[in-house]
Every structure is written in C-alpha cells, then in structure tokens.
Chains A and B, each alone.
Chain A
C-alpha cells in the first residue's frame, strides 16, 4: 500500500488543526520541504542512474540508451520512454486495486483495478513523461543521430522501492538526476557510400549503414537536456496548501496539485488529482509558490550533484547495495 497510514479521526483532527495554524506534525512550516538524499552513478551497467530518498520514500531510477530507428512519423527524433514500477514491497497483495482505496489514501494518480497495480504504474509513467519531459524541456531532435536511420532510444526505468509521501516528486527528482548522470556514447555513422543496396522481395531496400561506438566513457556526450523539470506537489488540507506531504498528510489532503518547474522557476506542467475541487485563485497562488519552491529544490539538488562530482560515478565505500 502506498500510503501506509490509516489515521484515526482524532489523529486526523490533530493534523488538520495544526495545518490550520501553520504547524505540521514534524515541525515544518507549510512550505517547507524535507531534505532529500541523492546519489548518482550507483548502477554501473546503466548509462545513468540515481537514487532519491526522503524520509521513507525511496526511488531508484536507471537510464539505458540504445541505438534504434527513429519513429516512422518523426524521422528526425529520438524516443524517450518512461516506465514506472512499484516493487512488490510497496504494493503487496494487490493493495493498489480499487478506485476508492486510493481515495482514502489521497494518492496521486488514483487507483487502478488490476491486482498488480500495473495499470497505475503505467499511468504514473505516462504522467511523469507528460509532466517532466514536455517538448519545451527536452528537444527530442537532439537524440537523433542520423535522420530516418539512427536515433537514441532512451529508456528511463523508475523503481519505487518504498513510498511514504511525495512519490511523484521523488520520482521526478530521480529522473532529473539520472538523466544528468547519463552520457550518450560517441557514435560515428558510416558515410552514405558505404550503404549497401539490397534487393529484397519488396524491391530495392537500403540496409542501414554501419556505425562505430567509442566505448570510452570520456568520449561520450552528456544527455542533451540538462534541465529536466521537477515535480512539486501541494496538497489542500482544510483549504490550506501543504507542500511535500508525508503519507499522513496525504491521507488528509482533499485535493492535490502537481506542478512541474524548471531551473528558472518556469512552470511547464500542472496536474490536479484527488477528491475535492480547487478554486482558481488558490490555484494561481499555488503556481506562484511552485516556481519559488521548485527553484529552491533544484538549487539544492544541483549543489548536491556538484558535490558528488558531475558525471563521475561516486566511489565510496559501501556495505551493500541498499546500505544507507
């Protein structure tokens, strides 16, 4: 179950009263974010990876790039697919099913009907793709190596290891840091003269030219989009807007608004979820605040990334993969 909390009415009232007065159970103000822990380069076999943790929420993101053909309808673009999986430890025995259990837990994305929560994962993936990878943030043309012939297929796999509020936010942070960690290998495609024309049953068909990959990590280029927006989610609790909710707060939130913000504080996507409706003036305030909160979050993230060393895998002693 994504939000493990089922609050008693008294706990709920305590939390709501606190929010009305601007205090939260963990001592934060309404706009305060919890600290995130970000690690990059933790999966050496991938092109880029990251792990984001924040008070129980734990997200692992891996990016793998493959050379493939560009889509037929957009021959000068690459392909990016976002795939979200909720590990079995998060969603035991089909807790993700049923629309209404999600209502109680106030989860972003609502609940889906199938037992495995696969539908919900797929929806989350599509939502992240839509919110965080809009054309204004990611120019897919930069992922094309040779029009009609070769383009990068970027697979972003996000694994939700543990959920305790702010899942979508953590996933977007993980995606941003993993894509910044990604290097596209240096590839040189053979010249046009090397193409061989093949006679097939359908007529003359050109085979693809050969390409060479420079496998040295230093020869690669960084992922073309360095400013992937991050999601900031705000919940409406008793008509107050609460940022970066814990799972208890999520279960009290009547409605949630997720805003994707880039480095310059520009809002590039907005999505409302949850039960209650919101009024337009409140929404405009949320958009204003989201810019501020998002910029701050990205600044902290970049400072942390700079400390990790840009693009270089983190070398440090660890006891095991999951060791904190």
Chain B
C-alpha cells in the first residue's frame, strides 16, 4: 500500500520572477545582463560522426551529426547537399506532459533554415547530413541551446562551415519608472521568467546567431513591441558580446577534444602493437 502512496518530492518552487534596476538581482541571483553557467562537451555519443552536449543553466541539449551519406534522391533534385535536422523534446523535458510536436516542428524549421546557410552544403553534393538534437531539459532558452549544441556537434564532426556560429537569446521590456518609460534589457531568461513575461506579451525577445570570427548575423528571429532600431542596436550589441564569449569557449572545447584525441591515438596504437 505504501508504494501506492509514493509521491515524488515537490520541486523547489521558484520565487516569482522580478525585474531589477541597476545592481539589484533577479530571482536566481543573476543581474539583468548575466548569462547562466554554460557547460559544453564534445563526443558524448560515440556512434555519431560528431556530437556535442550543451547546457545553459538547467537547459540541456544533446546533438549528434551523422553523415554525410550518399543520397540518390538528393543527387537527382539538387546540385548541393541537404541538411536534415531532427529535434525532439525528451518526454521529461517539460513539467507538464503535453505534446511538444508543434513546438518541435517550429524549432526544426528555424534551425534547418539557419544551418542550411551555415554548413557549406554546396561542398556536399549528392549527400545528406543528418543532425539530431534532443532537449533533455527545458528551462528556458531552448532555441539558442539547441543551436549551440548543433553548431558544436557539426564542428566536432568536421563539417565545412562558414564559421563557428553561436546563438543567444536576449530580451527587453518596458518598465514604468517615476520619470519615464524605462527599457530594461535582460539576457537568457529561465523558463519561469519566460512564462511570466513572454506569454503576456510585455517582453520583446530576440534570438541571434552570430558568426564569431566576424560579427555577421547568421540567424535572427525576434518578436515583440520593442524592436525599434534603438533597442535592436542594444540587443545586437549585447548578443555579439555573449556570442563571442560562447564562441571562444567552443573553440577551446574543440581544441581540447582534438588534443585529447591526438594523445589518445598513439596510446591506442602502442596498445595494439
């Protein structure tokens, strides 16, 4: 009978999100500009040509790249290759067990559009590159987390790309202050903050993917009432800064992975000798 009364521990109820001015803190202790802690790793999936894990805060995305593989159909219909992205939310990724199919399709559309322009598909004629991405946990910023996971996995797979492209999500909203309307810029919302502000429509969001060795925009999607040039300039400036920082980390991560593989390879050969 005890088994029947088992209940999982109640999740920590997050405090209601707050917007801060100046040096005050957000509900999770960050300032408005702070991005949550980022963790990345290459090669978690050994069967794939390239794979990567990307975590920002509690949001976790796992991506694997298979191919390029030969495709007669692709050869018939086009002079260049194709990128085939499959994105799935793990059933436990979101608190409520609702169908994520619509959201998955939408994210796939966005990411396919982006990566078809980032991966140099004309170099992969007659072939198809399959990319899978799994969202293990959704705590806000899924689009940019998946983008970064796929970007790192593609680089790890050695696909030819225009650049290492990283993405981030920026937000701004109008907060009435004593004197005038004050625009507050926020980086990297958590799911609780997204639920609080995004759905009510008072928050403007912008997801930006930037090629990190230059500063050109490879991916851009934004909605909200504050997309005027002034705010957009601010948002883009912040995005560039964050994307560069993530890009630097990605490069370091790839270099470390490469160095590890170089070190491991001779050791392997000595073992077989």
Contact = CB atoms under 8 A, between A and B. Distances in A.
Interface stretch (B45-53, B57-65, B105-113): B105-113
A139 B201 CA distance: 9
15 contacts: A98-B78, A100-B80, A100-B121, A101-B78, A113-B84, A123-B106, A126-B109, A135-B200, A268-B224, A277-B117, A277-B217, A278-B217, A278-B220, A280-B236, A287-B228
Contacts of A270: 206, 220-223, 227, 232
A267 B220 CA distance: 14
A242 interface: no
A273 B201 contact: no
A313 to B, nearest CB: 32
A41 interface: no
B74 A279 contact: no
A288 interface: yes
Contacts of B80: 100, 103
B106 A126 contact: yes
B78 A123 contact: no
Interface of B: 73-74, 77-84, 96, 102, 105-106, 109, 112-113, 116-117, 121-122, 162, 199-202, 206, 211, 214-225, 227-229, 232-233, 236-237, 240
A133 B216 CA distance: 28
Given A103-B80, A278-B216, A287-B227, 17 more contacts: A99-B84, A99-B121, A100-B81, A112-B109, A113-B82, A122-B105, A126-B109, A130-B221, A135-B200, A136-B202, A136-B225, A268-B224, A271-B222, A272-B217, A278-B217, A280-B215, A284-B232
B232 A283 contact: yes
Given A103-B80, A283-B217, A134 B211 contact: no
Contacts of A287: 227-229, 232
Interface string A96-125: 011111111000011011000001001100
A104 B122 CA distance: 11
A101 to B, nearest CB: 5
A258 B33 CA distance: 28
A255 B162 CA distance: 14
A289 B158 CA distance: 40
Contact of A123 (B74, B109, B211, B217): B109
A287 B215 CA distance: 18
A78 interface: no
A275 interface: yes
Given A113-B84, A123-B105, A266 B220 contact: no
B102 A126 contact: yes
A279 B84 CA distance: 27
Given A123-B106, A277-B216, A103 B116 contact: yes
Contact of B229 (A139, A257, A260, A284): A284
A274 interface: yes
Interface string A72-115: 01100000000000000000000001111111100001101100
Contacts of B96: 73
A127 interface: yes
B105 A283 contact: no
A279 B216 contact: yes
Nearest to A280: B236
Contact of B215 (A110, A113, A271, A279): A279
B217 A100 contact: no
A113 B222 CA distance: 25
A164 interface: no
